[in-house]
Amino acid sequence: MPVGGLLPLFSSPAGGGLGGGLGGGGGRKVSGPAALRLTEKFVLLLVFSAFITLCFGAIFFLPDSSKLLSGVLFHSSPALQPASDHKSGPGARAEDAAEGRARRREEGAPGDPEAALEDNLARIRENHERALREAKETLQKLPEEIQRDILLEKKKVAQDQLRDKAPFRGLPPVDFVPPIGVESREPADAAIREKRAKIKEMMKHAWNNYKGYAWGLNELKPISKGGHSSSLFGNIKGATIVDALDTLFIMEMKNEFEEAKSWVEENLDFNVNAEISVFEVNIRFVGGLLSAYYLSGEEIFRKKAVELGVKLLPAFHTPSGIPWALLNMKSGIGRNWPWASGGSSILAEFGTLHLEFMHLSHLSGNPIFAEKVMNIRTVLNKLEKPQGLYPNYLNPSSGQWGQHHVSVGGLGDSFYEYLLKAWLMSDKTDLEAKKMYFDAVQAIETHLIRKSSSGLTYIAEWKGGLLEHKMGHLTCFAGGMFALGADGAPEGMAQHYLELGAEIARTCHESYNRTFMKLGPEAFRFDGGVEAIATRQNEKYYILRPEVMETYMYMWRLTHDPKYRKWAWEAVEALENHCRVNGGYSGLRDVYLLHESYDDVQQSFFLAETLKYLYLIFSDDDLLPLEHWIFNSEAHLLPILPKEKKEVEIREE
């Protein structure tokens, strides 16, 4: 159908004006110049809208221009180069920069601004052409056809919804498998015993204050002594309770665990009319409930986990099956963060559902959860990856990448973690996940990992081919990840990955050590003459994050190098000196200040992760052995599914 078919007013009986060209004659009678001006205005409006759409497209697909400069101007050197290769002294920085640029040109990629620009232009052209093609196709459709398409789409979504709901009339009985390594012996060494007891006391302080001032609410405000609610959970309540369950269990705080369980039984309600973050609710609530079930065998946790999993299914009702970031739990309507590149979903969000969803299928006997996350993988595997890297943004409607930003920190981090852990959790049978993980890590090493002038290894961020020499606190989890994956590394690479983990741990320790409070900033930089230091005011805060303790925990377990216990204890002292207040533990606004400026939030992940990892560092290895347990991204425990049990049981209807 030609465009004119949609615009009957274009043709005049005289065949003049725009109508002669577009309408092909025979159209409705036009009464005069005023009407003609109206049609002209309409056409102009259409053209103008198309133009604006294209401009917006260009903005979304162009890399951040301020970062173009930083990528070109700042030096970096490959992390694999030995530290001694790095010159010190005043001339070193400029030479390094020149070497860096030459090397990037040889590689023909990430740092070459011309190639990157060319690349970006080609991508913009391609995107514009696609947008134009799609617009033309839509314009060529009859209104009835468009309406039919909409109805079909609606029907498909409704069918999907029905299908997702249908099988959940009840849970099949399962035999609870007693958990391995949950009864902990007291450490033999008295000094270690004392330290572990201190960490348990910290947990009591955090829990009792939450209980006293914010019971049943999501988080505690330890300074103002009240509840703190975050929009991440909509109006689901009790984030701290669900997040803390397994820490209470392994610390043998039995009474507290029982009161938490009763709260879940009586109050945890998912019938809420509010928008939640699918990722956050999954890692904290689904993960926390699954973990509590696997540790205690209490049916209520399995029931609640599956009930919540079902509520999350409508998030996957997108054309590609890549889930929305945000979901209204009542209406089942999803959307993405408004700031995310052109309506994209976020890699670290949709990529951090796999472990929990595989267990939901395992515990419910229903394959639907596993199908949803396996489809994410299928979509990812079909896409071409720039330089082998995974961009942080993926559009759920087109199934195409958004902005080419890559990060092992915020927006990307736990996607990589879940690839590795999917393989481990499958009892090493999920070879696809293993391949995806090691391929991704190889690309990350080539394009993102660098060594500073003084020899600190760091993981930079990649924006449209250019590097930003900044590492987030979140990125510090990667030390533990590299070490955990070392065992399955390609031949001859195991030691290398263990060392890489150790180097990242050292860099993150430096980021703590170079502050006044001895707690790390949100992000630290390796440019403008600084190393492992935050230079921007809005990156100097510490919100009780766990990633550095997480890496120390894996490094301790895998190497038993005493420095990890020493570093962990430094952090305990810093938390006690600067974050502990009468009403619990608070985050800090600036870790470089001489006096505490509190943010007045006790994050639920402080109880779920930070204190749990610290406790494990001062426990024997037979408490939650790594051969039997996987920690989800919120440090919740999921057992490895033994080979013979890994198949999802399909329930007879």
**Residue numbers at the binding site for ligand DMJ (CB under 6 A):** 283, 414, 474, 545-547, 605, 609, 633-634
In 422-529, DSSP assigns E strands to: 449-451, 457-459, 461-463, 466-468, 470-472, 523-525
Q: Which residue is nearest to ligand DMJ (CB)?
A: 633
Residue 635 CB, shortest distance to ligand DMJ, in Å, is 7
Backbone angles phi, psi at 641, to 5 degrees: -85, 110
Verify whether residue 522 is a known catalytic residue. yes
Task: Name the residue nearer to ligand DMJ (CB basis): 283 or 630.
Answer: 283
Task: Name the residue nearer to ligand DMJ (CB basis): 298 or 609.
Answer: 609
Residue 59 CB, shortest distance to ligand DMJ, in Å, is 28
Task: Name the residue nearer to ligand DMJ (CB basis): 539 or 620.
Answer: 539
Task: Name the residue nearer to ligand DMJ (CB basis): 60 or 350.
Answer: 350
Strand, helix or coil for residue 177:
coil
Bridge-partner residues for 580, per DSSP?
Answer: 585
Pair of tokens at residue 361: 């299928």
Identify whether the C-beta of residue 479 lies closer than 8 Å to the C-beta of residue 551. yes
Cα separation, 449 vs 451, in Å, equals 7
| 83-114 CB burial, b ≥16 within 10 A, e <16 | eeebeeeeeebeebbeebbeebeeeebbbbbe
Catalytic residue selected from 275, 468, 522, 609: 522
Residue 350 CB, shortest distance to ligand DMJ, in Å, is 13
Neighbouring residues of 143: CB distance < 8 A, sequence distance ≥ 6: 6
CB atoms < 10 A from the CB of 305, how many?
Answer: 25
Task: Name the residue nearer to ligand DMJ (CB basis): 522 or 600.
Answer: 522
Task: Name the residue nearer to ligand DMJ (CB basis): 567 or 605.
Answer: 605
DSSP 276: E
Residue 610 CB, shortest distance to ligand DMJ, in Å, is 8
Pair of tokens at residue 267: 């109050």
Residue 108 CB, shortest distance to ligand DMJ, in Å, is 34
CA 16 distance to own-chain centroid: 58
Task: Name the residue nearer to ligand DMJ (CB basis): 288 or 314.
Answer: 288
134-137 contacts: CB < 8 A, separation 24 or more? 135/50, 135/53
Pair of tokens at residue 515: 């502050």
Cα separation, 468 vs 207, in Å, equals 39
From 74, 68, 65, 63, select the one nearest 458 (Cα to Cα): 74
Residue 246 CB, shortest distance to ligand DMJ, in Å, is 14
Residue 277 CB, shortest distance to ligand DMJ, in Å, is 10
Cα separation, 349 vs 134, in Å, equals 28
394: enclosing H helix or E strand = strand 393-394
Identify whether the C-beta of residue 295 lies closer than 8 Å to the C-beta of residue 639. no
CA dihedral for 350, 352, 355, 357, sign (positive or negative): negative
Residue 578 CB, shortest distance to ligand DMJ, in Å, is 18
Task: Name the residue nearer to ligand DMJ (CB basis): 497 or 605.
Answer: 605
Residue 450 CB, shortest distance to ligand DMJ, in Å, is 23
CA terminus-to-terminus distance, the chain: 47
Pair of tokens at residue 30: 């036009």
CB atoms < 10 A from the CB of 330, how many?
Answer: 14
Task: Name the residue nearer to ligand DMJ (CB basis): 416 or 567.
Answer: 416
Q: Indicate which residues carry an active-site annotation.
A: 522
